[in-house]
Amino acid sequence: MIDVGEKPIAKREAKAQGKVSMSASTIALIRENKIPKGDVLENARTAAILALKKVPHLIPLCHPIKITWAKVDFNLTESVILIESVVKGVDRTGVEMEAITAVAVAALTIYDMCKAVDKSIVIGDIRVVEKKKEEVI
């Protein structure tokens, strides 16, 4: 781990995005809440939030972060689910690992819930798209 003990505490924010591509018929099933395993987007949102809270347990050299807020949103197109997470915290290091983990776990949850009805699912383009820091005085 890197020693962050001397760094100032700051308000941190990170945004991450990713996508899950699948057939239009699977997107329609998700919209109609007809996937056999249940409500895909709400399960993916819950899994993402649970995962972002566990980042230091999942990724060996990540520091525990004081997370103050998080959200995970989905935008469905004809054949893609776009995932976006925003995480805020107040600490000595950033929250981008939490944001990107949320997107990855949301995508994995979508895959798991839909794999029985669609063999063409592809997860991709997961990335951090924004980081902000505002020092706390």
Alpha helix ranges (H) inside 1-137: 24-31, 40-52, 55-58, 96-114
The reply to whether 112 belongs to the active site is: yes
**Annotated catalytic residue within 3, 112, 118, 125:** 112
CA nearest to 9, candidates 66, 60, 57, 62: 66
Reference 63, options 89, 85, 102; nearest CA is 89
Assigned token pair, 1: 């781990």
Of 106, 94, 86, 90, nearest to 62 by C-alpha is 94
Could you give the angle at the alpha carbon of 49 between the alpha carbons of 112 and 47, nearest 5°? Answer: 20
Residues acting as catalytic residues: 112
